[in-house]
Amino acid sequence: MIVGIGIEAVILFLAIGGFVALVAGACLVLFLVISLIAQIAESSISTGIKVLWIVLAIVLPGVSTVLWYFFSPRSQPTDEERIITSNWFAEIGQPI
């Protein structure tokens, strides 16, 4: 035990720390859910499937985030993105 501090103070300190960790975790989950819903809303899937994904994101935020990462529709790069990428790789490959 820390000298000069009663057990009540230590318990209070731990309780406050636990509360702060709980609030930080809740903020992280809220951020994940909001960003996931934004990604779902911007995706090219049909409206009915979007609604199902959003409900899943609200009910099971952690599971839905992982599932969305693996099963979300991937957009193909545009022609402009392909040109920029190919030019970038061409510049890297040239001798200095």
Domain span at 51: 7-85
- Greatest alpha-carbon pair distance for the chain in Å reads 69
Does 90 fall in a domain?
A: no
Output 2 or 5, whichever has higher pLDDT.
5
Q: How many structural domains does the chain have?
A: 1
Predicted local distance difference test score (pLDDT) of residue 37: 93
pLDDT band at 93 (very low <50, low <70, confident <90, very high): low
- Res 4 pLDDT > 90: no
Q: Please give the DSSP secondary-structure letter assigned to residue 43.
A: S
Taking the C-alpha atoms of residue 55 and residue 59, their distance in angstroms, rounded to an integer, is 6
Task: Look at residue 19 and give its three-state secondary structure.
Answer: helix
Taking the C-alpha atoms of residue 41 and residue 52, their distance in angstroms, rounded to an integer, is 11
Element containing residue 12 per DSSP (H, E): helix 7-42
Does 96 fall in a domain?
A: no
Does 1 fall in a domain?
A: no
Does 95 fall in a domain?
A: no
21-73 per-position pLDDT tens digit? 889 999 998 999 999 999 999 888 899 999 999 999 999 988 998 998 888 88
Does 92 fall in a domain?
A: no
